Amino acid sequence: MLEGALAAAQELRGEEAGAARGGAGLARSLTIKIVSAIVTLFFVLVFNFFLFRVLPADPARNLARGTALTASQMAAVNRTYGLGLPLPQQFWNYLVQTLHWNLGISFEYHIGVSRVIGSALWPTILLVGSSTVFSTIIGVWTGIRGGWHRGSRFDKTSTAINNTLYAMPDFWLGMVLLIVFASKWFIFPEGGMHSFGGGGTGLAGINDLLWHLTLPCIVLTLVYLAEYSLVMRSSLIDEIGSDYLLTARAKGLRDAMVRRRHAVPNALLPSITLIMLNLGFVISGAITTETVFSWPGLGLLSYNALNFPDYPVLEGAFLLFSAAVIAANLIADLLLTVLDPRVRQA
Amino acid sequence: MSVQTETATGIPPISSGRQIAWERRRRAMAKFWQEYRKDRDGMTGLVVLVLMIAVALAAPLLASSRGLNPTLATYPVNAAPGWHYPLGTDSDGRSVLTELIWGSRISLLIGFAATLLSMVIGAVIGIVAGHFGTLNSWFGRQTDNVLMRFTDWFLVVPFLPLAIVLARTLGPSLHVIIIVIGITSWPGTARIIRAQALAVETRPYLERARALGAGHWHQMSKHVLPNVMPLLLANTILTVAGTILSETTLSFLGLGDPTRASWGEMLNGAFNNGVGTGNSLWLIAPGVAIIVVVMAFTLVGHALEAVLNPKLRER
């Protein structure tokens, strides 16, 4: 995935540089990007609809959960969920309903899927958001330090650690941390988001939440910082040989200034693109971590929906995961436009 | 007699064009190997890989497959390491080491097979898009356009949910998991191969081939493919690392084949049977094995890339 994301990042950069030729071109290319994001989203909707229609499941039977239903009861259930309609009609209803944020009714919870997903959204945003902040800061910092002093002991150590982390399944790291810190030493809780009884109100409640957040956040941070650090390091190394750095040194700038003012801002662009692109993937990538730590977010929701099986919830979650990636792509595009002077000044 | 004199001068006997081509390839391979040997990380990775593959192939000699059957397991349950079970036992009383050895077969098999599938899809789409994209015709441009749109779309679909839905739809089996991983991991390859194919297409010998009347198939299979092959190989090795990790994740989520225990299945078993209270090596051992294999593939892949692209060697 790293290679693919990098290729995409580089391509974005190239496109942006090309778009910089004129202000009108810039507005046009932005419009094209937004439109193509919407088109992609539409394709995902179509795919989503048909994918979940081929699943070997009889929703009516599923809802009945083993109890014998009469034919008329089955028909009633099918009517309620609109399952008896012809496919094009079903598809149209699906489109209209999705646009109204009506994603159907959960087989497991018997309430609207949008409500189920809505309640799982905030834990995932908290977990993914906090871990992304940490992995970005630590990853970029170690990448800069390692890349600038290439071959130093710091560089060698951090590259070795990053390669190891990059090869590590995130859920395995989670389970190891759980055994050590929760089962053996009792420093952190076994899982969940709150202690039994809510963990108190006000400051005590926040403390309790942070206490539960620590381990899953560490896992996601470690797994993703490796990628950011490796990319930051190699894009900084690409800049080191550049003429403009030689010029900066010839002007008599100190080494730290050359790095901070000249090399890092240029080398940051691919990392920023990668981090933004990844943000969309991290949300669905958190499925395993959330499962290990029973963190009540979208990931655990999908895992449970998978085992139930609760197809409407799975379908809704899949749609949201895809939308997150598309949105992250678009934001990465737009952000680069703002950050890259070659585009900004056009 | 004549053969002898020719080998003495170091010039091989020239009999056909094919032979010349093979001689050239052999020399290129020898040069490649000389460059590769200098890469210490790459050699470490290669040695580890060879050892791992040897263990997987020799599994029946190292441990009896009877040890995998829970009904035949005679060891104590959740035991710490002992003489007959150096890594302890699982909750069914099976030796973790036996499971680990046999699991390496499944994990490597899925890794290689899924990668092969992904490479074939990625190479075909990349070469076709690159080849027809350089044709100066409406049809050519549209072919390239459609193929790349399709690739881009696959690139934004989040892998894990898609794989979960597919695996769930098709049911848990070894084939399904290979197919699912294969058809979700090719887009990156397709883009890299297309970029390389575009570069190859502009070279004079392709112009010559076209002038001589070579068809699309001949151009793609005889000229473009051999030239993207080295890059494809490096990409393959790196992809195996990814597919092994993907297999682990899917098996962990319970989508693997429970009768063909891979390392991911072992982790799934350890997780579902409360490993915190039992033999923790049941969890540690497969995880370490995964890390070692994935790292070895990554090191070999990067070393291959560095030989192919000297600009990368500075890193």
pLDDT of residue B243: 92
Q: Distances from the Cα of A177 to the Cαs of A95, B284, B291, in angstroms?
A: 43, 11, 16
Q: Are A115 and A123 in contact (CB under 8 A)?
A: no
d(CA B275, CA A184): 12
The predicted-structure confidence for B259-302, as pLDDT tens digits, reads as follows 778 898 888 888 887 666 677 888 888 999 999 999 999 999 88
Helix (H/G/I), strand (E/B), else coil: A105: strand
Contacts of B153 (CB under 8 A, 6+ apart): A40, A43
Closest CA of chain B from A202, distance in Å: 33
Residues in chain B: 315
The share of chain B scoring above pLDDT 70, in percent, equals: 91
Closest CA to A247 of A234, A258, A236: A258
Cβ contact, residue pair B283, A317, below 8 Å: no
**SS3 sequence of chain B:** CHHHHHHHHCCCCCCCHHHHHHHHHHHHHHHHHHHHHCCHHHHHHHHHHHHHHHHHHCHHHHCCHHHHCCCCCCCCCCCCCCCCCCCCECCCCCEHHHHHHHHHHHHHHHHHHHHHHHHHHHHHHHHHHHHHHCCCCHHHHHHHHHHHHHHHHHHHCCHHHHHHHHHHHHCCCHHHHHHHHHHHCCHHHHHHHHHHHHHHHCCHHHHHHHHCCCCHHHHHHHHHHHHHHHHHHHHHHHHHHHHHHHHHHHHHCCCCCCCCCCHHHHHHHHHHCCHHHCCCHHHHHHHHHHHHHHHHHHHHHHHHHHHHCHHHHHC
Residue A62 has a pLDDT of 59
From the CA of A203, how many Å to the nearest CA of chain B? 31
Of A191-205, B49-63, B82-96, give the range with the top mean pLDDT: B49-63
Contacts of B195 in chain A (CB under 8 A): 7
pLDDT in the model for residue B32: 84
What are the angstrom distances between the C-alpha of A258 and each of A37, A143, B218?
A: 38, 16, 52
Q: Minimum mean pLDDT among A146-155, A171-180, A267-276, B234-243: which range?
A: A267-276
A139 band by pLDDT with thresholds 50, 70 and 90: very high
CA nearest to B301, candidates B22, B115, B156: B115
Q: Which of A41, A117, A171, A240 to mutate to test the interface with B (most CBs of B within 10 A)?
A: A171
Q: What is the pLDDT of residues B110-164, one digit of tens each?
A: 999 999 999 999 999 999 998 888 877 888 888 888 888 888 878 777 778 778 7
Residue A311 contacts B where some CB pair is shorter than 8 Å: no
Task: At A201, give phi and psi (nearest 5°).
Answer: -115, 170
Residue B3 has pLDDT above 50, yes or no: no
Contacts of A62 in chain B (CB under 8 A): none
Chain B's closest residue to A292, CA to CA, is: B271
Tokens of A323: 């939308």
Cα dist from A286 to A217, A308, A334, B11, whole Å: 10, 19, 25, 61
A284 CB within 8 Å of a chain B CB: yes
pLDDT confidence band for A113 (50 / 70 / 90): confident
Q: Cβ A176–B161 below 8 Å, yes or no?
A: no
CA dist., res. B79 & res. B280, Å (int):
10
pLDDT tens sequence across B187-234: 888 988 998 888 888 888 888 888 888 888 888 888 888 888 888 888
